[in-house]
Amino acid sequence: MSLSFPSDFIWGTATAAYQIEGGAREIGRTPSIWDTFSHTPGKVENGDTGDTAADHIHRRAEDVRLMADLGVNAYRFSVSWSRVQPIGRGPAVQRGLDFYRKLVDDLLERGIRPVLTLYHWDLPHDLETAGGWPVRETAFRFAEYARILGDALGDRVDRWVTLNEPWCSAFLGYASGVHAPGRTDPVLALRAAHHLNLGHGLAAQALRTVLPRRAQITVCHNAAAVRARSQSPEDLDARRRIDALANRIFTGPMLSGAYPEDLFKDTARITDWSFVKADDAATIHQPLDWLGVNYYTPHLVSAATGTGADASRRDSRTRGAGEKSPWPGADSVTFHQPPGEVTEMGWSVDPTGLYDVLMRYTREAPEVPLVITENGAAYDDKPDAQGAVHDPDRIRFLHGHLSAVHRAMADGADVRGYFLWSLLDNFEWERGYGKRFGAVHVDYGTQVRTPKSSARWYARLTETGILPDAAV
């Protein structure tokens, strides 16, 4: 039986500024933490940087045409903070704003709704030098930046995302150090998580003061489906610990107005959480017009089966497990590779995890609509002798996950849209250019774009609203 989606369903695609833009020193831009990190030897595979990336800064119009060919009606992109506000404070650089004004105009001319993400991990280097996200002041600087963007683009952009995956910013950036800025201090990571939450709340408040009433504001979480390897009390407690750090540290204050008490107990030997001020929870708990859900793969955990010192590092989902754990207070937890198929990233392919997180949010916050703001997979895509790029594995991945979305909707989840990650092959953070997530292949030497088989498959879906067969 064919699976059909509502006629008003949002079909989109998504990117991030540092991953595609390039132009690292152009139109007013100064270094972000990812410029500094990627130029540090040994931090990124093959010494790759985002200096040129997919050269979107010069190929904006071509890339918007590719979106139109996909038939999408929405595009989620992020703004490079340091292109707009080079040192993270003070007046905006109009040349930087003009790039995003032109991008938005191009999108609207094609009938594509712009969905603007304020922060996708590229903190201005100067703010990191001043302490970064572990410092409370950064949250207030973020709100100032949000107001600048709202003033400049609020007349044409009506959907706004404050943060993308704050878990990655806090715990990969400040605990395990495999992401920028590369710091490895669990106390700083927990402080960063709180100040990212606070920054979200302050930015939402700032946007509400300058945006039209029709504007919608949200946040995107990398929702974690955390599963216990067994039903033993020890394994169930391991799941609880990771769920607190992966999910509830953010959704607790954002959706319910309070941090989970078990999180405080689990991390009491690390910090007393005195950096949380009396009114912070109320500031963080801002109304959300919908919730962005990013999903790739589930976690499978148990009580420690090896030494506690290395147990919590073995997690293929953390995008390159480092020597330090991204899970403060969870040294007693072991991560396991789930059985079955994996992507080129080594991540388990399991659409049931997406179904599970959608149903969880439906139970816990039934009043908040959901949008899948990222979902996709990396595979070893290469052009054939004729220059075509066939990616049947990605088509099967998308078919399986969109089937899970349809099932969740049938079971009561209020899902309003789906954004394919990603439009283009791009700079995949600490993995450099070796992992390809795009529906469009990019030859990084020539910057030639070639739509893959999955792009044509997705275009059929966006045109008809009916899920095409996975066979190719």
- Confidence check: pLDDT of 311 > 80: no
User: What pLDDT, on a 0 to 100 scale, did the predictor assign at position 458?
Assistant: 98
The whole-chain average pLDDT of the chain stands at 96
Per-residue three-class SS string for the chain:
CCCECCCCCEEEEECCHHHHCCCCCCCCCCCEHHHHHHCCCCCCHHHCCCCCCCCCCCCHHHHHHHHHHHCCCEEEEECCHHHHCCCCCCCCCHHHHHHHHHHHHHHHHCCCEEEEEEECCCCEHHHHHCCCCCCCHHHHHHHHHHHHHHHHHCCCCCEEEEEECHHHHHHHHHCCCCCCCCCCCHHHHHHHHHHHHHHHHHHHHHHHHHCCCCCEEEEEEECCCEEECCCCHHHHHHHHHHHHHHHHHHHHHHHHCCCCHHHHHHCCCCCCCCCCCCCHHHHHCCCCCCEEEECCCCEEEEECCCCHHHHCCCCHHHCCCCCCCCCCCCCCEEEECCCCCECCCCCECCHHHHHHHHHHHHHHCCCCCEEEEECCCCECCCCCCCCCCCCHHHHHHHHHHHHHHHHHHHCCCCEEEEEEECCECCCCHHHCCCCECCCEEECCCCCCEEECHHHHHHHHHHHHCECCCCCC
Rounded distance between C-alpha atoms, residue 190 and residue 439, angstroms: 35
Question: What does the block give as tokens for 217?
Answer: 């504001």
Mean pLDDT, rounded, for 407-434: 98
User: What pLDDT, on a 0 to 100 scale, did the predictor assign at position 193?
Assistant: 99
User: What pLDDT, on a 0 to 100 scale, did the predictor assign at position 305?
Assistant: 79
Amino acid (1-letter code) at residue 37: F
- Confidence check: pLDDT of 69 > 90: yes
Rounded distance between C-alpha atoms, residue 254 and residue 364, angstroms: 12
> Model pTM greater than 0.75?
yes
Contact partners, residue 158, CB within 8 Å, separation at least 6 = 113, 211, 212, 214, 215, 216
Mean pLDDT, rounded, for 245-270: 98
- Confidence check: pLDDT of 249 > 80: yes
* Residue in 21, 165, 428, 430 annotated catalytic: 165
Given pLDDT bands bounded at 50, 70 and 90, which one contains residue 272? very high
Mean pLDDT, rounded, for 431-454: 98
- Confidence check: pLDDT of 309 > 70: no
Given pLDDT bands bounded at 50, 70 and 90, which one contains residue 323? confident
Mean pLDDT, rounded, for 197-208: 99
Mean pLDDT, rounded, for 134-139: 98
- Confidence check: pLDDT of 60 > 70: yes
Chain segment 332-382, per-residue pLDDT in tens: 999 999 999 999 999 999 999 999 999 999 999 999 999 999 999 999 999
- For the chain, what percent of residues have pLDDT higher than 70? 96
Given pLDDT bands bounded at 50, 70 and 90, which one contains residue 316? very low
Question: What does the block give as tokens for 402?
Answer: 């969109």
* Residue in 21, 128, 374, 430 annotated catalytic: 374
Mean pLDDT, rounded, for 437-461: 98
**Is 374 labeled as catalytic in the residue annotation?**
yes
User: What pLDDT, on a 0 to 100 scale, did the predictor assign at position 321?
Assistant: 54
Given pLDDT bands bounded at 50, 70 and 90, which one contains residue 1? confident
User: What pLDDT, on a 0 to 100 scale, did the predictor assign at position 320?
Assistant: 42
Given pLDDT bands bounded at 50, 70 and 90, which one contains residue 471? confident
Distances (CA, A) of 384 to 70, 91, 381, 450, 459: 22, 49, 9, 12, 21
Mean pLDDT, rounded, for 370-397: 98
